């Protein structure tokens, strides 16, 4: 049986100290992770003049094969900071149903919940994007325009304050009859708002 990702409070409680120590040893400021995409500067969460509101739900309505600059910057930072493989950004217009992939606003990250090392990669990512900075909850997730995250039968949505909710793909009648891919057990799905995908949120100003 796949191991479910712990609740957000558990992530902060059990991993916070370890992450802080790892960041100190590595000399890395978790508030100033930087993307490498030219022309899209990244600012420190702690030094940001303002904090973005939580992203609202913006479903896919059009289609493009061009990777947007904010999406590219997000992907570059994700790979550089946490490792792992990106297995999907864009998607053909005639493939599947409604998806932010078709607007270059979604990222599939190959992190398998059945692999202990990869679970730690996800927990590190999630703990950092939902950290409270200068009183701002979920600071980096808001500044990067993260709309929602799906992984291991759970969805964390901005409009729910990134608290976990059960997730079941629309084409599945039950978890037991759903494939690991549709359950997002073998990868993480991250959707961005339009501002996040276009590099217009506070993370890029």
Laid out side by side, the sheet with 188-192 consists of 86-88, 106-109, 188-192, 146-151, 154-157, 164-166
Cα 140 to Cα 120: distance, rounded to the nearest angstrom: 19
Measured from the Cβ of residue 155, the count of other Cβ atoms closer than 10 Å reads 18
User: Rounded to 5 degrees, what angle do the CA atoms 163, 166, 167 make?
Assistant: 115
Cα 109 to Cα 185: distance, rounded to the nearest angstrom: 11
Pure H helices in the chain: 8-26, 69-82, 116-129, 139-143, 194-197
Q: What is the pTM of this model?
A: 0.78
Q: Which residue has the tokens 């297995």?
A: 87
Running DSSP on this structure, what letter comes out for residue 37? -
Predicted pLDDT at 46: 64
Structure token digits, residue 148: 């929602």
Domain spans of the chain?
8-204
pLDDT tens for each residue of the chain, 205 residues long: 333 444 555 444 434 434 333 333 333 333 333 333 444 445 567 666 679 999 999 999 899 888 999 999 999 999 999 999 999 999 888 887 778 999 999 999 999 999 999 999 999 999 999 999 989 999 999 999 999 999 999 999 999 999 999 999 999 999 999 999 999 999 999 999 999 999 999 998 7
Predicted pLDDT at 120: 97
């Amino acid at each position: 049986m796949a191991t479910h990702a712990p609740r957000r409070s558990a992530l902060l409680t059990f991993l916070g100290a370890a992450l802080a120590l790892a960041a100190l040893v590595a000399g890395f400021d978790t508030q100033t992770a930087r993307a490498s995409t030219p022309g899209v500067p990244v600012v420190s969460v702690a030094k940001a003049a303002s904090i973005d509101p939580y992203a609202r739900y913006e479903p896919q309505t059009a289609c493009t094969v061009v990777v947007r600059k904010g999406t590219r910057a997000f992907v570059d930072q994700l790979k550089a900071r946490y490792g792992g493989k990106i297995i999907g950004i864009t998607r053909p217009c005639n493939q599947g149903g409604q998806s932010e992939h078709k607007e270059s606003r979604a990222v599939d990250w190959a992190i398998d919940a059945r692999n202990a090392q990869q679970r730690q990669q996800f927990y590190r990512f999630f703990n950092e994007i939902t950290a409270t900075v200068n009183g701002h909850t979920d600071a980096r997730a808001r500044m990067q325009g993260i709309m929602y995250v799906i992984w291991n039968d759970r969805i964390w949505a901005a409009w729910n304050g990134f608290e976990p909710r059960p997730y079941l793909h629309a084409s599945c009648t039950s978890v037991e009859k759903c494939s690991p891919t549709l359950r997002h057990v073998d990868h993480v799905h991250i959707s961005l708002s339009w501002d996040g995908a276009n590099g217009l949120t506070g993370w890029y100003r």
